[in-house]
Each structure stands twice: as C-alpha cells, then as structure tokens.
Amino acid sequence: MKAMLQERFGPPETLRLADIDRPEAGTGQVLVRVRAASLNPYDWHMLRGDPYVARLMGGVGLTRPKCRVAGIDAAGEVVAVGADVRAFQPGDEVLGFCPGSFAEYARTTADLLVPKPARLTFEQAAAVPMGAVTALRGIRTVGKAQAGHRVLINGAGGGVGTFAVQIAAALGAEVTGVCSARNAELVRSLGAAHVVDYIREDFTAGREHYDLILDNVGHHPLGRLRRVLTPAGTLVANGGGSPGRVFGVVGHTLRLIAADAFARQHLRVIIPTAPAGSTREDLLAVTALIEAGRLAPVVGRTYPLADAAEGVRHVEEGHARGKAVVTVP
C-alpha cells in the first residue's frame, strides 16, 4: 500500500510517500480502507518531536516519531476484523482514530471507531474525530457550558473552533467567536451571536465577561484572559503552541495548574493527543449531534495523499479555516 512515512523528526518535507506492506487486523483490531484523513496540530507535533520535553516523556518518540506512518484521524470502510470484534464487519463505513491514517490502509482497535453518519461524505467524516472530540471536551465535559452561559471561543474559525461554536450553541449558550474577518460570516452561521475580529479588537481589553473561555490560540497572557472571566468562570486552554518550543504546552499546563491552586476561577487545560479515556463515548456523542443536524464539519482545504506534507505545513501555520483533509484514492 502507499503511505506517508515519518521516519525521522523534522519539518513537513520530512514526510515521504512510499510503498509498504499492508497491516493485518489482529485480535480486537479493525483494518480500515482509508478514504480520507484529516490534518491536526497533533500531526506536526509528532513529526517535529515538539515540544522537546515530550520526547523524554514518551509522548512523541525519543529519537524518531513513535508511529512510522503519519496521521491519526480517518474515515473509510472496514476491510477486515480480528478475533473478538463484534461491533463491525467488512463493508461498514466508519470514522475514528486510526494511527497511521495517511495511508491506503490503517489498523486500529474497535473502541476507537464509530459508524459514519450517512449524511457525511468521507472527507467530512474524517474531519470529525480529534477536532470534534476536543471541542466537546472543552465546551461540555471540562467547560461545563450550560444554557444561558456566556461562552467565548478564541480561534472560532479553526478546526476545533468551528465544532466548539456549534456545540456551545446547541447547549443553549450565548456564543462569542474570535476569528479573522474572512471567517466572521462562517462563525455566525455556525451559531455565534457575536463575532470579534482579532485584528481590530483585543477581546481581553473589553468590558464583557464570560462564564467560559475556550482558548484555541494561546497568544494572550493568563492574567488578561482571567480579567474577562466572571469571578467563578472557567478558562479551558486547548494545548498546542508554536513549533520548536522546548517545553511548549507542558510548561503552559504546569503554569495553569499552579495558578489554579490559588484562584477562585477554574483554570483547565485539554491536550489534543492520541485518544485517551471515554473516546468511543465522545465519538458517539458528536456523531449523535451530527445525525440530529446540530453539528456539521467544516472542511476548508483538501489535499491528495501525495501532498500531505503541504497540508501539514498549512495547519502548522495556524490559519486554517475549518479542517484540512487528505483524500486517499
């Protein structure tokens, strides 16, 4: 099969298209014929081995990327199932987390997959897993948004942000989206009652206060973010950061934990990494919202498999509109 290999740490150009052996489904595993795979900041973190401290912690690999084939999100068709798999059978259309998804075939475990909603194309379905699950955890699970809450989403036009706006609106919150002017109409159409153009206005300098802030960008000092939280409000930082940092999100996480110990406000961090904890339940929750017509993926750019490196570069630059997706013929 054809696959995008990441055999050493480096920039997106490090990715190499090659022919390798197709994986087989072992006990409890599912082999998926990948039709589309979405791009995430996770992908360039893994490729660059960033932040450097994560290499020592075992998060990305020590001397080379932990997974030889790039990618984590996928949508496609089940080709084969291993022993003990009862939830799926060959021919089923699925979406979920498939390590090594920048390839024609990827192997994963049954608990990381859910049926693909029939209303979605494979490209739309591939955009769901990490982006929608991260948004769900940030808004509902950790942020505990409720009807009537004032919720601000910084980075509302991006991969996580476009899902987060819709989820917060579906919960009955009054949503403010911070994004570029070119994404303003999109963010309004997703359910935001208010839109702030970050080029023209600094929301942390305003008079409005919010019950929940989901920060997908990380460019504002913690003190300024807390200034526009209500006294018992919640800040949820969606970990990420710029390439090449030694500590990156790990350092940011430690600072928030330290500050939270002395604050009445709630300071939390979610880190979009390889799936962990309640993953299938979260995937089922977001696909239920999709089936109910309350959540829809926003696909910005698409790239053929051979151009996956260009897609990683685009996401790494930090200005992607919605989700970028790799198509696999």
- Split at pLDDT 50, 70, 90, the class of 274 is low
Q: What average pLDDT score do residues 256-260 get?
A: 74
- C-alpha separations of 212 from 148, 176, 273, 307 in Å: 11, 10, 22, 38
Rounded-to-integer distance, Cα 48 and Cα 35, Å: 26
pLDDT tens digits, 66-99: 899 999 999 999 999 999 999 999 999 999 999 9
- Split at pLDDT 50, 70, 90, the class of 247 is very low
For 312, the token pair is 């990683």
Q: What was the pLDDT predicted at 246?
A: 44
pLDDT at residue 239 greater than cutoff 80 = no
Q: What average pLDDT score do residues 122-139 get?
A: 97
Rounded-to-integer distance, Cα 211 and Cα 53, Å: 33
pLDDT at residue 245 greater than cutoff 60 = no
Tell me how many degrees the CA angle 195-196-201 measures, rounded to the nearest 5: 165
Q: What was the pLDDT predicted at 273?
A: 60
| C-alpha torsion angle, residues 231, 149, 193, 240 (rounded to 10) | 70
pLDDT at residue 241 greater than cutoff 60 = no
Amino acid identity for residue 85 in this structure = V
